[in-house]
Amino acid sequence: MMLVDGRWTGPILDQHLHLDRSNRFLDAIAEFTRVGGTGIMLVHKPAFSAAALPTDLDGYRAAYTNTLSMADEVRAEFGIDVGVVLGPHPVVWAHQIEPLGLERSSELHLEAVGLALEHIEAGEAVCLGEVGRPHYPVDEQTWAAANELLVEVMSLAAGAGTTIQLHVEDNGETTCRELAELCDKAGLPRNRAIRHYAPADVSPGFTHGLAATVSVGRQSVERLVGTARSAAAPWGMETDFLDDPRRPGAVLGPKTVPKRTQQLCAALLSADWSEDEVSDLMTGIHSEWPADLYATR
């Protein structure tokens, strides 16, 4: 794994990407691989519409099976590394409260976590997620329930020895601090909780020991250059590509992580990082840290 003329020639991993059979699906991965992508973390894509909400565990079982099947198809078509992230989305839980009631929606959420953990134990998935709490304002009762539920989910992950990818609100450092406290309460090591769609600040004072997958949109490279040297917890890159035909321009496209990887290498070299330092960082981001994060302990 090395730099050649300032370009990274090693693995390039997008740590949070969704696929949808009704939209680009394999074409999105073709685009990713054409520009140097070598691996993805395929994250279960939930259905949020009222008509498609899971109302029992069979609904989750079918949805998880579809995600696992898509992962197999990507591997067969492109020969790239595909790690699967399975779990019940917190916004689905919030939407389920109205038809099912708070108690049953929370029970179903934990049942869906248990099913995801079964797939992880079987080696079919490697991470629990995305789990967490709603990213938008909710009433006090729902917020309190979401945090209680998240502690239970974290406790289950800790017992299973797996990592979690967290879907949370963006309230900067405060969000990380609160999540770190919840990890401690649940007995989950902070660096086994990955803040998905994280801001491009990987300094310890911001992350509070949480792992992070940084959303590598505009200006993320400049912010990473300013904080990467001080990082103490694992971090990586993600697009959160939605593959949603209703929102074709939402979040970031499949080419973004390979593109930002090369831009970050160039920026670090310009900031007087040595080639060995940049190579070590890229190896961490795209190989060594993911290998550790997505290994069950």
In a domain, 5, yes or no: no
Residue 235 identity? W
> Does residue 6 form part of some domain?
no
State the Cα–Cα distance between residues 58 and 76, nearest whole angstrom.
27
With a cut of 70, say whether residue 294 has pLDDT above it. yes
For 202-245, what is each residue's pLDDT tens digit?
999 999 999 999 999 999 999 999 999 999 999 999 999 999 88
> What's the total number of domains in the chain?
1
- Angle of CA points 159, 176, 285, to nearest 5°: 75
Distances (CA, A) of 74 to 20, 65, 70, 194, 237: 12, 14, 6, 24, 20
pLDDT above 70: residue 194: yes
Find the CATH number of the domain harbouring 53.
3.20.20.140
Q: Is residue 284 part of a domain?
A: yes
Measure the CA–CA gap between 35 and 203, rounded to whole angstroms.
Answer: 29
Tell whether 1 is covered by a domain: no
Residue 216 belongs to a domain: yes
Residue 161, domain extent: 18-293
Q: Quick check: is 12 in a domain? A: no
Q: What is the pLDDT of residues 29-45, one digit of tens each?
A: 999 999 999 999 999 99
Q: Does residue 149 contact residue 109 with C-beta atoms inside 8 Å? A: yes
For residue 109, is it within any domain?
yes
Indicate whether 4 belongs to any domain: no
**Hey, is 120 helix, strand or coil?**
helix
Q: What is the pTM of this model?
A: 0.96
pLDDT of residue 296: 83
SS3 for 68?
Answer: helix
